[in-house]
Amino acid sequence: MKNYYRIYGILMLLITGIFVLFEVSALSFSFNMAFNRELENVQNANIQFSNALSTSIEMLEAESIVDNSVVLNYVSDNIYKSMNNHAVTYIVSNYPDTLYTSRLIDINTNRKVDYSSEDNWYIEHFKTGEKHYIQVTNRLEISGDTLYVKTVMDIAEIYSERDAQVSGYRIVIFAIFILFAVGLYLLIKGFEKNIRIAERLTQIELASRRQEEFSASFAHECRTPLTSIIGYSDMLRSTDLSEEEQKESAEYIFSEGKRLERLTKQMMLLSNIRDEKITKESIDVKKLLNKVLKSVERKMEENKIVFNISVEEGTLIGAEDLYQSMLINILDNARKAVSQNGEISLIGKNNFEVYEIAIVDNGCGMNEETIEKMTQPFYMADKARTRKEGGAGLGMAIVNQIAKRSNVKMQVKSTLGHGTRIILKIPRTKEENNEK
């Protein structure tokens, strides 16, 4: 389920990013529109004032009226009043002198401007305190003099509007974000529920299929000895056999009966391991391995297998019978894997919080597929050899169940044609852990 929450987080980040991008784009577009509108107004006002000033001065010159700062100031003031646009301020200057100002404002408007030879316009946007201004400067050449007509407008209002829009957008986007987040969360929770149901159904279906396969495998394993028992029994019942033939038939019936008995015991053990509560106790390692050795040494000798054992003293915690069954099954599996005159080693050593038991053989080994499947009930890599040895493919399944129930970690390392190494990491008693 963690993946769905990760997807949910990514979607929310993506949505947030889209909303923020939309907000920035919308605000930027709106602000630029307002700014360009005000700039156009300032430019138009400057053009009107400049044209009126040029015309008035030309008329005064034609009437031979002396041109001085008093006359210029008078003319400029009349033009300003006639334009009826008091939102802007007009400054006429001949740097560094200011000749006329329509109204006083607390800004430095008489800064020298470097114009290119082709452009008589200069536009500035500046801030003084908390206020923002646009200043448009137009250079005029009148009667051999250079005059600068500057038009200044306070545009703080469009910044205030922008700030108000930002606050409004944030509230709206936050509300949309919350609604969308809740909706998306509920949608994902619904998907999760459906997915959990689907996963549960898949697990049930898989468990049912495994149960069917298990039952089919068990029936198949039972059928083989039963067929032999029924066949030889019928032959004894309906056919006149010699004493030697009768003895041979009885041996077959007995061996197949014992095989069926072993299979039944293994099935019961596998079932009990899964269901019964395990009583844990302290176990002496050497005493446990001596019992295991007595159980396997006869078959090892029959197969002329060299069996090496080297163990350190130690104490385990768990169920002794289960550990004994686990080790016997692994050793029996190793015995079946090696040929005559092969070699099997059992090595035990203390390793901090666990006791490690390694069972190493120089047998046929396994590939990766076999290692993955070896703990499945009734799985046999070499069916002919396993059945010949009286096995049913349940040994490693029992080992796996015991390991899981006893908190034993099992590692399998094997190379085809070069043998197998199985390492068991078994919990030790608390007292011994503390001593170490």
Q: Where are the domains of the chain?
A: 2-105+114-154, 279-435
DSSP, collapsed to helix, strand or coil, labels residue 311 as strand
- What's residue 376's pLDDT? 77
Beta bridge partners of 307: 344
- What's residue 432's pLDDT? 45
Look at phi and psi of residue 341 and say left if phi exceeds 0, alpha if psi is from -120 to 50, else beta: left
Closest CA to 70 of 55, 60, 85: 60
- What's residue 117's pLDDT? 45
Beta bridge partners of 245: none
The residue type of 22 is F
CATH number for the domain running over 2-105+114-154 = 3.30.450
CA separation for the pair 216, 223 (Å, rounded): 10
Closest CA to 316 of 346, 286, 358, 274: 286
**279-435 maps to CATH 2.120.10.30:** no
Q: CB-based contacts of 312: which residues, under 8 Å, 6+ apart?
A: 285, 348, 349, 350
Using 70 as the pLDDT threshold, list the residues of the chain that sit under it.
1-6, 8-9, 12, 61-71, 83-91, 93-100, 103-119, 143, 207, 210-225, 259, 262-263, 265-276, 378-393, 429-436
Query: Helix 243-275 crosses helix 395-405 at what angle (to 10 degrees)?
Result: 20
Closest CA to 207 of 276, 277, 274: 274
DSSP, collapsed to helix, strand or coil, labels residue 217 as helix
Tens of pLDDT along 95-128?
A: 566 666 776 666 655 555 554 445 677 888 877 7
Closest CA to 427 of 411, 402, 409, 412: 409
Calculate the alpha carbon distances from 11 to 14, 17, 20 in Å.
5, 10, 14
Closest CA to 351 of 430, 428, 431, 435: 428
Closest CA to 135 of 48, 46, 51: 46
